[in-house]
Structure 1
Amino acid sequence: MPQQKRGLPIRARGLTKRYRTRTAVDELSFTAEPGAVTGFLGPNGAGKSTTLRMLLGLVRPTRGDITIGGRHITDLTDPVRAVGALLDARAVHPRRTAADHLLAVAQTAGLGRRRVDEVLDLVGLADAARRRAGEFSLGMHQRLGIATALLGDPGVLVFDEPLNGLDPEGIRWMRVLMRDLATEGRTVLFSSHLMSEMELTADNVVVIGRGRLIAESTLQEFVLAHTTQAVTVRAQALDDLARALTRAGMTVERGQDGGLVVTGADPSSVGRIAAAEGIALDELTRVRESLEDLFLRITGAVADHGSRAA
């Protein structure tokens, strides 16, 4: 059984940040719950980093608030042990070694060298502990930033683009780490442009565009709510099948591969109609829009709407 760690909910309520004439975050409300990985999605300039900086007390909201367990981060009695964050992996003095960087942070929280050694080993940097950060690749910087976030063994983890610079093995490692942290009862909030990894990692998603909330739900609910059911089907009597499906009220189009694309239907419905007509099927496959395509379509629509309104 994994060690249980009590996380705290992250809640934004009416969160707004304006910079003179530009609104970076606009009346944003969402929740990231303990025991789950929440993916924070939005195109560049959507307000994700500004939101995370307000969460961590680095930027003051114009209006509204964002709290951890109902309290602002500055009101937490031991923030290093409560919240771990990675915002800028390269925010390390280049002449410091990985071990010295972590030790300096650890000492501010009353942690010793043993914990430094533990997190270096956890993120795969034990052999690089005495190397200067200025010699690190982007992927190694990411691992060092993740180690820094984990130092206090916090119940809340916030990662801004933690997969940048990681190789495939590193991406898989980070995916497993976030899933394990959530399984232990921690709150994990992370942003990423890698939609394939978001699809494999996130339980819930918060999607924003132009600083505003577009969607907040489980990943499965988000996909189901924004996609239309469709199947592809192949058969020898394709024209007869197309007519039968059309009579049943389904929308049928010829696919690029010569089969039929049937929207507004699931495989079982198409299969029953084909069986009733005595048509043997060669292929029957559910069509599922990728999270990347869905994300681009949804956020692109918001951007287009905003451009027209402007």
Structure 2
Amino acid sequence: MRQLTKRYGEVTAVDDLTVDVRPGVVTGFLGPNGSGKTTTMRMILGLDRPTSGTATISGRPYAGLAAPLREVGALLDAHAVHPRRRAYDHLLWLAQSNDIGRRRIDEVLALVGLGDVARRRPGGFSLGMKQRLGIAAALLGDPPVLLLDEPVNGLDPEGIRWIRTLVRGLAAEGRTVLVSSHLMSEMALTADHLIVVGRGRLIADTGLREFMRSRSPEAVLVRAAAADRLAGLLRAAGASVGTGGGDALTVTGLPSAEIGRVALAHGIALQELTPQWSSLEEAYLDLTRDAVEFAGVPS
């Protein structure tokens, strides 16, 4: 994406967005409601026309792909399926539109766990089953690029874990995987890289670990038999030390290596020395605080 912009009248949904989504990693696409994530995905897929800028897949616009399902698979709306058309037939017409054989339909139905309900109509499917059917459609052409918008919405824990395992496996095969979600705890387990937008503008494009570390000072959990003595020594060395009861200390202001050197110099045996950072949710909320369009008032 290069200088991608989309305006609806006086409203700018996406504002001069320039990012690359790389193969071999799961890229999490994050942002508050109204931040432009879905609009961006729709422009990548040619469903919305940019006001200016470009969105390309392997250097080409979606409209220029001869067999788009073989190039990019997408799930934008799990409900976007005819409720009376059987699951197999839904995939069949998609396959025929891109010259994909029937064998592949059976393969993706088995992959997403819908082989036993292939002849059922999606109107009676649960949300989780519809999500699986949508992912089957996205995988139909065995594409190297995948775009999944909120794929874990409404799923039970088993379904969430299944999608997490699936997308990480697809990225491990060298595919380009872009996943949007509001579920920060899940993104922390799934994503390798993050693109964060707010009010249509890019506010972060970085690795997951780097993002979390950059939003909070490093804290180190320390456990030692002589915790009180070590706390005094660390404070003398310039650290801030909090006590967690017993032999546990929370230390900021000194890196782990320096804490270890202080303990060694004074003959104090360490039982634990674990760097800690804020959760992805805390880091994300801190970064996007000024980009939230719809915010409630605390009670």
Contact 2:4 2:15 in 1 (8 A): yes
**Judging changes above 3 Å, is the alpha-carbon distance between structure 1 residues 267 and 113 closer, same or farther for their aligned structure 2 residues?**
same
Amino acid at match of 1:90: H
Residue number in structure 1 paired with 2:101: 112
1:269 aligns with 2:258: yes
Contact 1:13 1:30 in 2 (8 A): yes
1:233 aligns with 2:225: no
**Judging changes above 3 Å, is the alpha-carbon distance between structure 1 residues 130 and 257 closer, same or farther for their aligned structure 2 residues?**
farther
**Judging changes above 3 Å, is the alpha-carbon distance between structure 1 residues 301 and 262 closer, same or farther for their aligned structure 2 residues?**
farther
1:26 aligns with 2:15: yes
Q: Deviations over 1:214-271 (max 9, x none)?
A: 1112222222333311123355765543332222122234458895432122333223
Residue number in structure 2 paired with 1:293: 282
SS of residue matched to 2:153? coil
Residue number in structure 2 paired with 1:38: 27
Structure 1 residue 140: Cα displacement = 0.3
Within-5 A mapping of 1:123-162: 123-162=112-151
Q: Deviations over 1:50-75 (max 9, x none)?
A: 10001111111112111111111001
1:206 aligns with 2:181: no
Structure 1 residue 107: Cα displacement = 1.3
Partner Cα distance (1:135, 1:16) in 2:
39
Pick from 74, 80, 87: which aligns with 1:98? 87
Partner Cα distance (1:76, 1:280) in 2:
63
Contact 2:225 2:247 in 1 (8 A): no
User: Unaligned regions of 5+ residues in structure 2, if any?
Assistant: 294-299
Contact 2:194 2:205 in 1 (8 A): yes
Amino acid at match of 1:134: G
Partner Cα distance (1:235, 1:183) in 2:
40
**Judging changes above 3 Å, is the alpha-carbon distance between structure 1 residues 301 and 263 closer, same or farther for their aligned structure 2 residues?**
farther
Partner Cα distance (2:245, 2:201) in 1:
37
Partner Cα distance (1:62, 1:171) in 2:
35
User: Unaligned regions of 5+ residues in structure 1, if any?
Assistant: 1-11, 305-310
Contact 1:142 1:165 in 2 (8 A): no
**Judging changes above 3 Å, is the alpha-carbon distance between structure 1 residues 72 and 228 closer, same or farther for their aligned structure 2 residues?**
same
**Judging changes above 3 Å, is the alpha-carbon distance between structure 1 residues 268 and 148 closer, same or farther for their aligned structure 2 residues?**
same
SS of residue matched to 1:25? strand
Residue number in structure 2 paired with 1:6: none
What TM-score, normalized to structure 1? 0.86
Greater displacement, 281-290 / 133-142: 281-290
Q: Deviations over 1:61-105 (max 9, x none)?
A: 112111111111001121121111000000111111111111111
Partner Cα distance (1:161, 1:139) in 2:
12
* Percent identity over paired residues: 61
Structure 1 residue ranges (4+ consecutive) displaced by more than 6 angstroms after TM superposition: none
Q: Deviations over 1:100-138 (max 9, x none)?
A: 111111111122322211111111001111111110000
**Judging changes above 3 Å, is the alpha-carbon distance between structure 1 residues 109 and 226 closer, same or farther for their aligned structure 2 residues?**
same
Pick from 209, 216, 222: which aligns with 2:211? 222
**Judging changes above 3 Å, is the alpha-carbon distance between structure 1 residues 236 and 17 closer, same or farther for their aligned structure 2 residues?**
same
**Judging changes above 3 Å, is the alpha-carbon distance between structure 1 residues 44 and 258 closer, same or farther for their aligned structure 2 residues?**
farther
Partner Cα distance (1:125, 1:44) in 2:
31
What TM-score, normalized to structure 2? 0.89
1:185 aligns with 2:174: yes
Cα RMSD, aligned residues only: 2.3
Residue number in structure 2 paired with 1:164: 153
Partner Cα distance (1:271, 1:24) in 2:
50
Contact 2:222 2:274 in 1 (8 A): yes
Partner Cα distance (2:39, 2:292) in 1:
18
